[in-house]
Amino acid sequence: MEKHRTVVVSALQFACTDDVSTNVATAERLVRAAHKQGANIILIQELFEGYYFCQAQREDYIQRAKPHKDHPTILRMQKLAKELGVVIPVSFFEEANNAHYNSIAIIDADGTDLGIYRKSHIPDGPGYEEKFYFNPGDTGFKVFQTKFAKIGVAICWDQWFPEAARAMVLQGAEILFYPTAIGTEPHDANIDSRDHWKRVMQGHAGANLVPLVASNRIGKEIIETEHGKSEIKFYGNSFIAGPTGEIVSIADDKEETVLIAQFDLDKIKSTRHSWGVFRDRRPDLYKVLLTLDGTNPVR
């Protein structure tokens, strides 16, 4: 008999204030809305507790970090996940002794904290000055066995790297999740990465034959920096892609949104295995990927 293991995934999209309690309440309201539509795994956007503070290099913003253990927002989402029976990846600014990370805790449907992933690729450019705040993640790319699926979760800038997606799927990830904060470029209004952003992740889904869920924020955020005011207008466009890279659900650039899509994981697994891209891989030929310059292996 043919198996059918279905899962319903959701991506949330909303504008953040710079008040933690307001944003966490918004996230909870939208998680409940997604659950009412049948969602099993619900993705909230990156660093949703406040404004995307990385527009500036400010010492006071480092104080927003909190340890993973007994983190109040994670504890609240554990309670919510258990109440609703849903999986919730929770993005947060982590303090670990003298280190700081852009991290995500994966909460299973019984409220269990399955552990964290720390963002591996840390951007550094006008408006996205994350290297001031975050150490490079040290967890490596991980997958998490949840009640509904084995999932891979990475964060924002990670989504531009095909190696990260492939690493997660090689470890058994059946769905990829990417919480995000991306919008305009403060130094050049002519740069619009929106469609590029989507196409790269659609490629990850298609190349690995897995669904992919991306959650981005909306709204305009103005931050006082050391050089005056900086402004980013976040372009939303949160989306869910199917296993051939097709977009099955997408939000616009303005509206608070709850996206929903259902996938038959057993059918997708059968297609992935029969398509042959994992059968025909040649890891013995990929050693160049262990270099920065195409010649010298990184040690």
Mean pLDDT of 50-61: 97
**Helices (H), ranges, 58-107:** 59-62, 72-84
Active site includes 156?
Answer: yes
**Which pLDDT score, from 0 to 100, does residue 2 have?**
64
- DSSP per position, 192-245: --HHHHHHHHHHHHHHHT--EEEE--EEEEEEEEBTEEEEEEEE---EEE-TTS
Per annotation, catalytic residue among 28, 46, 129, 221: 46
Domain count of the fold of the chain: 1
198 is known as an active-site residue: no
Closest CA to 180 of 21, 47, 26: 47
Res 1 pLDDT > 80: no
The candidate with the shortest Cα–Cα distance to 260, out of 211, 196, 293, is 211
In a domain, 298, yes or no: no
* pLDDT, the chain, mean: 97
In a domain, 64, yes or no: yes
CATH code of the domain in which 152 resides? 3.60.110.10
Kindly tell me if the per-residue pLDDT of 55 is higher than 80. yes
Q: Is 297 part of a structural domain of the chain?
A: no
Catalytic hit among 119, 142, 198, 221? 119
pLDDT one-digit tens code per residue, 27-42: 999 999 999 999 999 9
User: Taking Cα atoms as reference points, which of 142, 147, 272 lies closest to residue 210?
Assistant: 272
Is-above-0.85 flag for pTM? yes
Q: Are 153 and 177 in contact (CB under 8 A)?
A: yes
296 domain residue, yes or no: no
How far apart CA 98 and CA 95 sit, in angstroms, is: 7
Above pLDDT 70, what percent of the chain? 99
Q: Is 119 a catalytic residue?
A: yes
pLDDT 10s digits, 102-135:
999 999 999 999 999 999 999 999 999 999 999 9
Domain coverage including residue 225: 6-290
**Could you tell me if residue 202 is inside a domain?**
yes
H helix or E strand, kind and range, residue 258: strand 257-264
Report d(CA 13, CA 255) in Å as an integer.
8
The answer to whether residue 156 is domain-embedded is yes
Nearest to 83 by CA among 41, 20, 32, 48: 32
The answer as to whether 1 is a domain residue is: no
Distance from the first to the final alpha carbon of the chain: 49
Confidence grade of residue 45 (pLDDT, cut at 50, 70, 90): very high
Is pLDDT of 92 > 70?
yes
Q: Is residue 295 part of a domain?
A: no
For residue range 223-239, list pLDDT tens digits in order.
999 889 999 999 999 99
Which residues pair with residue 10 across a beta bridge? Answer: 42, 260
Judge whether 43 and 9 are in contact, CB under 8 Å: yes
Among the listed residues 156, 174, 198, 221, the single catalytic one is 156
